[in-house]
Chains A and B, each alone.
Chain A
Amino acid sequence: MAEEKKTTRKKIQAADTMNRIMADYFYGLNEAATTGKRKVAWCTSVGPAELLQAMGFAVHFPENHAAMLGATRMSTDLIPEANAIGYSPDICSYLTADIGAYLKGITPLAKAYPGIQSVPKPDVLVYNTNQCRDVQDWMAWYSKKFGVPSIGVTSPKNVNDVTDAHIDDVTRQIEALIPTLEGISGVKLDMDRLRETVSLSRECTELWKKVLETAIASPAPLTFFDGTIHMGPAVVLRGTREAIDYYKVLLAELEQRIRDGVGAVDGETSRIYWEGMPVWGRLRQHSELFAGLGSAVLASTYCSSWIFPSFSGVDPIRSMAKAYLELFIVRSDRYKETYIKEMLGKFRIDGIIYHDAKTCPYNSNSRYGLPGRVEAETGVPSLVISGDLNDLRCVSDEQTKTNIEAFIEQIAEGR
């Protein structure tokens, strides 16, 4: 019988350390919310988390929670709850899954971390629309539900060159948040503490960059699928010493793999770039599918989106504004093309897969001709797969499998 090859993921030993610091983080959040010892802020994943950390808030990231709903495959049953109250199945399935979970009164945190019964009740909601408009609507719903303010930054979009005018705009918007946040937290912003927090964030993201760049080695010591898990601290613990310490441990392990010639995928025969969101509910299947084909998906835009080279303790607020603006998702297609071409070269990529996520147009870069333009210039073949980040009703496993297998065949035959 033509058996389908099963390949398990190669475990990264540092994962145990990560699980511990992530558990500490979630229990800390829960304690803040249940005891009232610290005020709780909900924040979009890219920022302005540094400001909130520096002001002493315990910070919850709804996007992180939504990704957990996806990875635990709870989301598809929860999304309809939000659909039923008027939030369309066509909008962000992070938003609909998260609101659906709230409506049903359930959270994956309860299963993963005994003693936690719900997401932490917020005192304030803070967003940055640099990723999409949906985050603002998401926070708006909770603002009404909890009766707490929703404040944030309305970011420029489709930016080619980040100019002083853009940075001035976002800087002023971040500064305008401070009085409200001071009112809620009851403490004045300590600029020295903000400088330290931003410096720690910078150090964290530099280490994260080094972690991701270990995949330049052949065979690559980690994959995109590992990256989506191990980026957790870079998302929720930026600005803390714990995240920095963790990435030092992870980096050391990956560097040892390189010295030992150990790849994340045995017998790496092709090197793939992933553009777009992961399909959270299919991480393991996708990881095993590629590994079974001897193919390493080793670099991605998504995991690289938590690298902020502009963070600086010298002028922290302005540097935050610049860093949040320089993000890939904020940029023009011209910039994105240049970025992707550089990544294809840097990681010696054989093929690029664009995930066209049904409910996430902002992270789906296959809709305005970009794949064709990049392919024409680089000669690196591309594949667009249809799916979604959280809504598995939009995912066809068999079509995905056939597409990916045929793509890897094509790469092999093209050699």
Chain B
Amino acid sequence: MPAPVFVGLDIGSSRTKVAVIDADRQVLGHAVRKSGTDFSATASACLDESLEMAGARRDGIVNAISTGYGRANVAFVTAQSKTEIGCLSRWGRDRFHEAITIIDIGGQDNKVIKLDGDGRRASFKMNRKCAAGTGAFLEEMSLRLDIPLEAMDALARQSLEMVKLGSYCTVFSATEVLENIRHGKKVPDIVKGLFYSVVKRVLEMDSHAGRVVMTGGVVAHNPYIVEMAGEMVGRPVILPEFPQLAGAVGAALYALDETDPTGIRNDIPAGETDG
């Protein structure tokens, strides 16, 4: 008999994330790829990669749940899909046994989700139809500045005199960036300004009760954003292990819930994955 596993597939606008967990809610395998145009094929490739990492097989999958923008496009998932807001909440409820605010920065949207002390979702907000503060904003700016996305974090950390960008709008921000280049501002200072803009946009979406946890691909690759958010919130902001996988892990936890009628198990110490 293959080892039983539970799978969460988060098909996002930019990246597809898959997490494989066991019945004890431990992450055994995971994978991240660009979503591309064939969501089902990408999810399938991610699944195989994460199963291999987990030492598991497809016939060992007890249950799988999909989430994210492409959640209805995964041909091999038979169970009902969940929203990414639901999955992030499910993940947060599992990892933190206290009131928290989850701030997720994704490819094309941001979410601020509040869980109460019992892990119940108290409220959530998504960004309006605007790329401000999303991964798409940083992608656009990396193109404009001709800087690889993966180089931005290190560059921002070198800044000595951050440039402040005032606009909401990605296009207007790009104009501001060009203006600063024209005025001889240093690239690290501009990149830190871009990070500051992202943090400002997401923090101003809502108030921040309890501990603040940041998730999503943008903070996974740019942890300096989390440090900057902590400075602005006035207390440390948590960057968990596998921040980009939080939604996929939440989906996998739902897959486990649907199998285990007792639902959430509280026999594993809280906060074990806090970064």
Contacts and interface: CB of A to CB of B under 8 A. Distances in A.
B124 interface: yes
B129 A409 contact: no
Interface string A393-415: 01010110011011101100110
A414 B89 CA distance: 12
B75 interface: yes
Interface in A336-381: 381
Most chain-B Cβ atoms within 10 A of its Cβ — which of A394, A402, A413?
Answer: A402
B72 A403 contact: no
A3 B71 CA distance: 9
B83 A2 contact: no
A405 B121 contact: no
A83 interface: no
B123 interface: yes
B72 A409 contact: no
Contact of B80 (A2, A394, A410): A2
B72 A4 contact: yes
Given A1-B74, A2-B72, A402-B85, A396 B79 contact: no
A386 interface: yes
Interface string B80-114: 11111110010000000000000000000100000
B77 to A, nearest CB: 5
B50 interface: no
Contact of B86 (A4, A384, A409): A409
Contacts of B82: 409
B69 A1 contact: no
B120 interface: yes
Contacts of B74: 1-2
Contacts of A384: 125
Interface in A181-210: none
Contacts of A405: 83, 86
Contact of B129 (A381, A394, A407, A410): A394
A91 B75 CA distance: 43
Contacts of A3: 72
A413 B66 CA distance: 18
A261 B73 CA distance: 36
Contact of A406 (B73, B124, B128): B124
B78 interface: yes
B62 interface: no
A402 B86 CA distance: 10
Most chain-B Cβ atoms within 10 A of its Cβ — which of A3, A386, A406, A413?
Answer: A406
Contacts of A398: 69
Nearest to A409: B86
A89 to B, nearest CB: 14
B80 A399 contact: no
B126 interface: yes
Given A394-B129, A413-B121, A414-B120, A2 B86 contact: no
A2 B76 CA distance: 8
A403 B78 CA distance: 23
B77 A399 contact: no
Contacts of B120: 413-414
Nearest to B13: A398
A402 B69 CA distance: 8
Given A399-B129, A409-B83, A2 B121 contact: no
Given A406-B124, A413-B121, A396 B129 contact: yes
A402 B82 CA distance: 9
B83 A406 contact: yes
Interface string B41-74: 0000000000000000000000000100101111
Given A386-B129, A402-B85, A410 B78 contact: no
Nearest to B76: A1
A129 B77 CA distance: 54
B71 A2 contact: yes
A197 B73 CA distance: 56
A386 B85 CA distance: 17
A36 B84 CA distance: 60
A4 B73 CA distance: 9
Nearest to B77: A2
Nearest to A393: B129
Contact of B126 (A2, A394, A403, A409): A403
A362 to B, nearest CB: 19
Given A1-B74, A2-B78, A414-B121, A399 B86 contact: no
Interface of A: 1-4, 381, 384, 386, 394, 396, 398-399, 402-403, 405-407, 409-410, 413-414
10 contacts: A2-B72, A399-B126, A402-B83, A403-B126, A405-B86, A406-B84, A409-B82, A409-B86, A413-B86, A413-B120
Closest 10 CB pairs of A and B: A406-B85, A406-B83, A2-B81, A409-B86, A396-B129, A386-B128, A405-B83, A410-B121, A4-B72, A1-B75
Given A2-B79, A402-B84, A406-B85, 7 more contacts: A1-B76, A1-B78, A2-B71, A3-B72, A406-B86, A409-B83, A410-B121
